[in-house]
Structure 1
């Protein structure tokens, strides 16, 4: 999402805005459609730029759960003067596999279809750098297995209770175990149990704004784990009420949570 904060809805009807939100394709992780109608503050660490700097020093690199490959492509563009000799990516959703393959082919990236909960389809100690932006779950034993001794896992994870205000608008109060899922300290413990050492772990809470109901509809269609059973038909009353709220009082505000992992596999 962008950081501009201007609305494009004007006086358009609820029906028109919802129809637009439904019509936008959901493949990949390109959020440029949201420009002018939704915003999200960016973490201070600049993940994609930092990943690019690390790629320029790597010889073999893997991007796990690459989505449509957009963020990995940007990071590789930062390392264009000295890219890794071997670069691979995994993705589990077939439309994104096709999109990432098309986008990353010119950079020599091998995109492998692999379910998010499956073992990584690579040999032990195959990579000196493993990247991931917003993985559904970090498979720490597999990450440790494919890293070379001295290798690094560098990733930006979604944190606990991300956009919980939006989720609870549609689903009501959430139990603590769901609110606290993706807790960075639990993930730290998982990494350490797999034999990895935490070099740095940082967390931030970031303001998000939705300026029209089309942005809400598209977001919930794209980020399907927020409201897993979301359809416009099922949630039409809530959507209509939220549209009226935005029109009368301004953007709907929620907060994303992100944390940065810099993890190292000890040398033998």
Structure 2
């Protein structure tokens, strides 16, 4: 098989179905591998989930993570803003007693003041003011975020505009939370490496993360994709740096 034939085979991966927040099509085969963080979000949130009387999971995706944190509190809700994920989340979580709320705006959540004593958030945007409103005094907001410098090497390789969230960082998030009335207990920020071992894995990633390269199409970036393909053929992988930060905070 020629190089171009191999490339054409990988391009077909852009048509693969992506649902929920499931990267197993490429991650379980080792086609994408990510460096380890010094913390585990799941291990961090689990003790809070076990002690909570009322819990909200913001940006639950298809409910994949929340459904694995059993037993859940008696009162638990989840939000999701990406329409294709909403039926998946309801199917997975409603049998567990979770109220799944479809949302359109971070600043307008369908919950009462002081409704939850724990709010967890993994890779979901948020309004610090709205989180403060629905969290009980003394309650915990715990989040892991994707920072604005995430995988910017992809943008550089494609000559595409920078990530629209490039100013989103640990410093910015901590400042916003403190200004809103939170006491930050713990804050960490790291840049682990992520490697793509074939261009099809990169295409699948870009389909799942469309905001990385907002104007992306295969035809529009075919020349750059071929360059990445040749780079991988020569070096074995294409490498980018992720941007992750973690915050545990209390409403005061």
Q: What's the TM-score, normalizing by structure 2?
A: 0.93
Q: CA deviation at 1:62?
A: 0.3
Distance 1:49 1:161, change over 3 A: same
Matched, 1:17 2:18: no
Distance 1:260 1:227, change over 3 A: same
Contact in 2 for aligned 1:128/1:152 (Cα 8 Å): yes
Q: Which residue of 1 aligns with 2:235?
A: 249
Q: Which residue of 2 aligns with 1:90?
A: 79
Q: Distance in 1 between matches of 2:165 and 2:96?
A: 39
Q: CA deviation at 1:117?
A: 3.1
Q: CA deviation at 1:243?
A: 0.9
Q: Which residue of 2 aligns with 1:5?
A: none
Contact in 2 for aligned 1:171/1:227 (Cα 8 Å): no
Q: Distance in 2 between matches of 1:207 and 1:32?
A: 18
Matched, 1:225 2:211: yes
Q: Distance in 2 between matches of 1:228 and 1:11?
A: 26
Structure 1 residues 171-209: Cα deviation after superposition (integer angstroms, max 9, x where no partner): 35749xx57411211111111111111111111110100
Contact in 2 for aligned 1:64/1:130 (Cα 8 Å): yes
| Structure 2 portions without partners, runs of 5+ | none
Which sits farther off after the overlay, 234-243 or 138-147?
A: 234-243
Matched, 1:44 2:38: yes
Q: Which residue of 2 aligns with 1:155?
A: 143
> What's the RMSD between the two structures over aligned residues?
1.9
Matched, 1:143 2:137: no
Q: Distance in 2 between matches of 1:115 and 1:259?
A: 24
Q: Distance in 2 between matches of 1:179 and 1:89?
A: 24
Contact in 1 for aligned 2:160/2:213 (Cα 8 Å): no
Matched, 1:33 2:25: yes
Q: Which residue of 1 aligns with 2:196?
A: 210
Q: CA deviation at 1:23?
A: 2.3
Q: What's the TM-score, normalizing by structure 1?
A: 0.87
Aligned residue for 2:14, secondary structure, equals helix
Which sits farther off after the overlay, 119-128 or 181-190?
A: 181-190
User: Which of residues 88, 91, 100 is equivalent to 2:89?
Assistant: 100
Q: Which residue of 2 aligns with 1:126?
A: 115
Aligned residue for 1:150, secondary structure, equals strand
Contact in 1 for aligned 2:121/2:144 (Cα 8 Å): yes
Distance 1:73 1:126, change over 3 A: same
Q: Distance in 2 between matches of 1:179 and 1:139?
A: 15
User: Which of residues 184, 190, 211 is equivalent to 2:170?
Assistant: 184
Q: Which residue of 1 aligns with 2:63?
A: 69
Q: CA deviation at 1:67?
A: 1.4
Aligned residue for 1:70, secondary structure, equals coil
Distance 1:88 1:224, change over 3 A: same
Contact in 2 for aligned 1:207/1:255 (Cα 8 Å): yes
